[in-house]
């Protein structure tokens, strides 16, 4: 069976993408938690990944001894090994578009990700209001999301970005968590999409797992002293 090494569900946005993709698509896998304790060379986290990932980071997908440690590579591997799941859109042009927006997510939106680290358990609208006031780069990232998602939802008719659930929705699920946690202002149709993503069974299962952790990691909490 596939194994997916992940970090804490509350904080690990990179882990969330392939986990949600697997769970929502109904692909069986074993979850292996590498709890965030620190990222020092001698930490339990690094020890859990020793011999598994050459980068010492999560997520990592392992299939019969083969390790895949990049989220885009994981998505492509799953799409190739489970073509019946239609993880990418069926249409060639839509598939290329979906890959483009996933790659943009993979390498972009650094202002939003840096200012608003994923924290599913937290409710931080006051922090979000200050970030929105003081960080124009975050506002620019959110506007890019609004423009992108609006165009895709209009073109493909929803409810997901390319009609049916795809890799693209899994890749943007952590962004939906950020928009929700920090209360960043978006148009209603975008807020509706965020809520639809949050209600997907695979996403809801991740959220429930994050809330059940009750594992406050100080180094992941720039805005709070306690849970």
Same domain, 98 and 191: yes
Query: Number of helices and strands (H, E) in the chain?
Result: 10, 4
Please tell me whether residues 157 and 111 are part of one structural domain. yes
Which residues, 6 or more positions from 210, have their beta carbon under 8 angstroms from its beta carbon?
8, 9, 10, 120, 121
Cα angle vertex 111, ends 176, 98, to 5°? 50
| CATH code assigned at 75 | 3.40.30.10
Is the confidence at residue 19, as pLDDT, over 90? yes
Residue whose pair of structure tokens reads 């799409």 in the numeric block: 79
| Mean pLDDT of the region 211-224 | 94
| Full-model pTM | 0.96
So what's the pLDDT on residue 39?
86
| CB-side neighbour CA atoms (13 Å) of 62 | 15
**pLDDT for position 41:** 86
Residues 173-203 pLDDT 10s: 999 999 999 999 999 999 999 999 999 999 9
**Beta-carbon neighbour count of residue 91 at 10 Å?**
13
Give the residue among 133, 117, 136, 134 at the shortest CA–CA distance from 217.
Answer: 117
What domain range is 104 assigned to? Answer: 92-208
């Amino acid at each position: 069976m596939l194994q997916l090494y992940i970090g804490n569900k509350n904080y690990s946005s990179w882990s969330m993408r392939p986990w949600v993709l697997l769970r929502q698509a109904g692909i069986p896998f074993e979850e292996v938690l590498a709890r965030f304790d620190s990222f020092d060379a001698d930490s339990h986290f690094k020890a859990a990944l020793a011999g598994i990932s050459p980068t010492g980071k999560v997520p990592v997908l392992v299939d019969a001894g083969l390790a895949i440690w990049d989220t885009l590579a994981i998505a492509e591997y799953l799409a190739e090994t489970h073509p019946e799941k239609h993880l990418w859109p069926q249409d060639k042009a839509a598939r290329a578009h979906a890959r483009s927006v996933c790659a943009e997510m993979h390498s972009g939106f650094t202002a939003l990700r840096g200012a608003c680290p994923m924290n599913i358990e937290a409710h931080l609208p006051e922090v979000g209001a200050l970030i929105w006031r003081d960080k124009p780069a975050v506002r620019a990232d959110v506007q890019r999301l609004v423009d992108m998602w609006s165009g895709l939802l209009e073109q493909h008719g929803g409810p997901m970005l390319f009609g049916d659930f795809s890799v693209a929705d899994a890749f943007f699920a952590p962004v939906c968590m950020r928009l929700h946690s920090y209360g960043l202002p978006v148009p209603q149709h975008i807020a509706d999409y965020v809520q639809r993503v949050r209600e997907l069974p695979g996403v809801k299962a991740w959220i429930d797992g994050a809330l059940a952790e009750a594992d406050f990691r100080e180094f992941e909490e720039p805005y709070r002293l306690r849970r």
